[in-house]
Structure 1
Amino acid sequence: MTKAPFSGKGERASDLLGLIHSDVCGPMDTQARGGFQYFITFTDDFSRYGYIYLMRHKSEALKKFKKFKSEVQNQHGKSIKALRSDRGGEYLSQYFDQLLKECGIVSQLTPPGTPQWNGMPERRNRTLLDMVRSMMSHIDLPASFWGYALETAAFTLNCVPSKSVQKTPHEMWTGKRPEVEQTSQVVEENSTNLETQPLRRSTRERHEHERYGFLVTTHGDVILVDQDEPKTYQEAVSSPDSEKWLEAMRSEMDSMSENQVWTLVEPPEGVKPTGCKWVFKKKTDMDGNVQT
């Protein structure tokens, strides 16, 4: 449930870094890879260009703001004028307040219990999480990959048009348009080369596409994840890891037997028991190595 926004419109910044919106979101029910449970956003009011940082604890907000401040001020040769946030404890700490005063940054805090005044970052958080849920629902990956999906969502928002600005946030922030012409030229050249070269049969092993998932980070890196997990019992016992899958199934059956999960009885006459099936998953550590 979201509260209705106020009818009035606040004053917009007239230049880059004139006003920065920030908000912390979390904790999430599932930790992202790396142990992250929170994320903090910094969004420029003039361009609507946003930065996002994953955090393990809310206390890291000051550290992330220092990192954001150093990067953007070095890029643009300007200083942050004001920082608008809610009254979260991470923004009210003595160290955070001291840093803002030393740097001459005005702290704009919204009134208690009025998230409408902090509407811009609140809406961005909601949009980011909606995009994450959409992406995660279309790929067969563990929920712990939501951190990569979040970075992909932030990267996408910066590159698409917005009603709040005349150009894309990326163009407003960098002053450069995406090099679409160069991209299309490379594709055309590659297509021409393919037409003149004879086709060669590949000797690599081909896999089904659904066995793989991909995510794009904010740096443009594409992460290809092998999702080679059996869908049925027959696939499990015929796969190269059949012995490991059989051992896992035996362990599961022994555990349920020892804990007396069920009582074996004859089904009543005329009643068809509800069927069941195996679900096979590979549990990995933070580095993607299979543990179980």
Structure 2
Amino acid sequence: MVRSMTSRASLPIHFWGYALETAAHILNLVPTKKVAKTPHEMWTGKVPSLAHIKVWGCEAFVRRETHDKLAERSEKCIFIGYPKQSFGYLFYRPSEDVVFVARRGVFRERELIFKEDSGSTIDLEEIQESPDDATLGETSNQQEEEVPVGPTGISLPLRRSSRVSMPPEFYGFHITTDGDTFVSDRTLINLDEPANYREAVAGPESAKWKEAMDSEIKSMYDNQVWNLVDNVPGRNTVGCKWNFKKKTDIDGKVHTFKARLVAKGFTQTPGIDYDDTFSPVAKIKSIRIMLAIAAFYDYEIWQMDVKTAFLNGKLTEDVYMNQPEGFVDAKYPNKVCKLEKSIYGLKQASRSWNLCFHEKVKEFGFSRSEDESCVYVKASGSIVTFLVLYVDDILLMGNDVPTLQDVKSWLGKCFAMKDLGKAAYILGIRILRDRKKRLIGLSQSTCNTTLLSIDFDLLELVSSCGEGPPVYN
């Protein structure tokens, strides 16, 4: 696959690594002869979608952010793969020799598919087989297929290997076999989550889902998310739906039934219902570096979670939404919701929440890091406090407990918070700490596997992260 991809695309040969990762990504989304399901489905329990697959190496026009009204709105790049930790595509910009991630682009796949000649500069020599070589090859094949004959002219049976065929153990700890049927362990258990409102209220766990929906609607009213107004003919109205999720702990046990009212943001009109949508989040490597610093200097590491975070962001646009299913006002069934606050699913929801949070922590004296938009620091003499934000998950690190308590109290006044105590599990990463030895263990597996212990005596990693131009924007 890699050979055919690189020979067709007009890219240097050193891009073979991106072609290899793309080939592996595609193979994980298609079934194999051994297993009826795809590797992605065996691992996550969900049927994968192939709608995002593009022809590797094709040209693409990617939107370019510029304040010049007469400048070009897009630039020609080359599609080279899929990012591992985010949605979107990897593009190569030849003019600056950089690789970056973008959510969307206009792909020119047909031009590459119907190109008559290969875009690669590698010359492939055609090897022509001579008649003598062909005759010799046929003779050798016939000799290999001859049945061995004993000294008396009696044909002997062909020798067969006595080795027992053992099928490979797919996916290590996550898959076991029971006869011919694959059985998944507790990390792949189907939690039987309802797909829509009707399934939730008709299922055996309807009482718990109803309680979760009531809690979500109460949060909407407490935050004054919308007001009911008359619907005007011709006005664009955004739909909404219920999403249901069972939250599990680090042992895979269900502890919370979560119902989330989500707006159908794909029905919003650009320029009318929303404008800017970009919102930063902390990089995983930044979180690991901050944990390294906290472990080395023996800082406290606390964790908090913002309840209904997106409902705190204020909208600057006029957005109208249908009333949620199951909670339509009996007195005003034909009215629509005029959104005053952002709601999950809106294009600008994440940005509105991030701007709101940034203003609140600035009031308390935090300053944003120049290199990482979601890492904040507050220093007063020898007292230092760090705050790391990943959407609605917060890590607090510092060397003074009363100061950290003051930060918690301030955040509790600004938002509805959940105090999770000392950090033990965040973003799928399990944290195990030995403060005496200044060691910290990180694991992204919920199985009983050995945790990776990291000694952070060598902090050159932290100091070298800012050297040189970044490969990814």
Greater relative CO, 1 or 2 (CA 8 Å, sep 6+): 1
More strand by share: 2
TM-score normalized with structure 1 length: 0.31
Larger fraction in helix: 1
User: What TM-score do you get using the length of structure 2 for normalisation?
Assistant: 0.20
